[in-house]
Amino acid sequence: MESAVEELMPRLLPVGDCDLPDDFDPTVPPRTPQEYLRRVQIEAARCPDVVVAQIDPKKLRKKQTVNIAISGCQPAPEGYSPTLEWQQQQVANFSSVRQSLNKHRNHWRSQDLDSNVNMPKLEDEEGWKKFCLGERVYSEIDAEPDDENLGIDYIKVGFPPLLSIVSRMNQATVTSVLEYLISWFAEKKFTPELGRWFYALLACLEKPLLPEAHSLIRQLARQCSEVRVLEDNKSEEQVSALNLLICLVSRYFDQRDLADEPS
């Protein structure tokens, strides 16, 4: 039977005539190349033509995960949908900011940073979250009044996206920090510090967008739309900030399927 199977199978490893000992045992480790090749042929001949995997359907039912991707944004709550004129004005303002940033980037990059400004390394996710948001927001510590004589403690309140800071960030850093802050936003509340950094990072993104950046800004817009719907104590200022980010992603970066319908 084995010889018949061998004749039907292509000989990818042909073995010429060779004298194998009478006591040749294919179950023990081969001692010569001829014994090795002969053992491979015997094992191949014994393989079944069809192999059926034994799957326990009970285990599959317990561990199945279903991911549903939402293509668009959640509609704005009633009374909070931005007008088309407002959205167009925000896009125009944002475009001017980007042009000014690009024009003066080299100037701001050459400015000395204050001695207390230590920008984290690219891969330091926690460091960037603390740098941008401050110890208070990052650690969710109740704010305490600052001593006016001591000035602002940026370690506590976070460094604002100053031009001297963001001008030093290349596209890899901009994309990474955007990813870090979106990750934080997915689990925490929206804050003014977070909104300022999102705006600045979007202003630093170069077009055409890289695939990773494209995915990130769409994720940002969706999260903003979800927060403005689920937020119990809606404030006009917060909803306006969320509307602004959705507007920039959808209308400036041409993600029109995410845009708010004009009120």
Q: How many residues does the chain have?
A: 263
Q: Where are the alpha helices (DSSP H) in 9-124?
A: 33-46, 57-63, 84-109
Q: What is the pLDDT of residue 45?
A: 72
At 73-89, the pLDDT tens digits run 888 888 889 999 999 99
Q: Where are the alpha helices (DSSP H) in 64-191?
A: 84-109, 125-139, 154-157, 163-166, 171-187
Contact 15, 41 (CB under 8 A): yes
- 15 pLDDT band, cuts 50/70/90, is low
What are residue 179's phi and psi, to 5 degrees? Answer: -65, -40
What are residue 119's phi and psi, to 5 degrees? Answer: -70, 130
**Is residue 64 predicted with pLDDT exceeding 60?**
no
Determine the Cα–Cα distance for residues 68 and 172; give it in Å rounded to an integer: 29
Nearest residue to 160 via CA among 187, 127, 198: 198
Pick from 113-117, 124-128, 149-153, 197-201: least confident = 149-153
**Is residue 26 predicted with pLDDT exceeding 60?**
yes
For the full predicted model, state whether its pTM sits above 0.85: no
At 180-220, the pLDDT tens digits run 999 999 999 899 999 999 999 999 999 999 999 999 999 99
Determine the Cα–Cα distance for residues 124 and 251; give it in Å rounded to an integer: 32
Determine the Cα–Cα distance for residues 187 and 192; give it in Å rounded to an integer: 16
Q: Of the segments 20-34, 41-55, 142-156, 182-196, which one has the largest average pLDDT value?
A: 182-196
User: What amino acid is encoded at 252 in this protein?
Assistant: Y
Q: What is the pLDDT of residue 241?
A: 95
**Is residue 238 predicted with pLDDT exceeding 80?**
yes
Domain 90-141+151-258 -> CATH class: mainly alpha
What is the signed CA dihedral for 178, 180, 186, 189, rounded to 10 degrees?
Answer: -90
> Higher-confidence residue: 160 or 232?
160
Pick from 99-113, 156-170, 231-245: least confident = 231-245
> Higher-confidence residue: 56 or 61?
56
Q: What is the pLDDT of residue 8?
A: 47
Residue spans of the domains in the chain: they are 90-141+151-258
> Higher-confidence residue: 132 or 16?
132
> Higher-confidence residue: 126 or 27?
126
Q: Is the peptide bond before 208 cis (omega within 30 degrees of 0)?
A: yes
Compute how many other C-beta atoms are within 10 angstroms of the C-beta atom of residue 57: 7
Q: What's the chain's average pLDDT? A: 82
Compute how many other C-beta atoms are within 10 angstroms of the C-beta atom of residue 203: 20
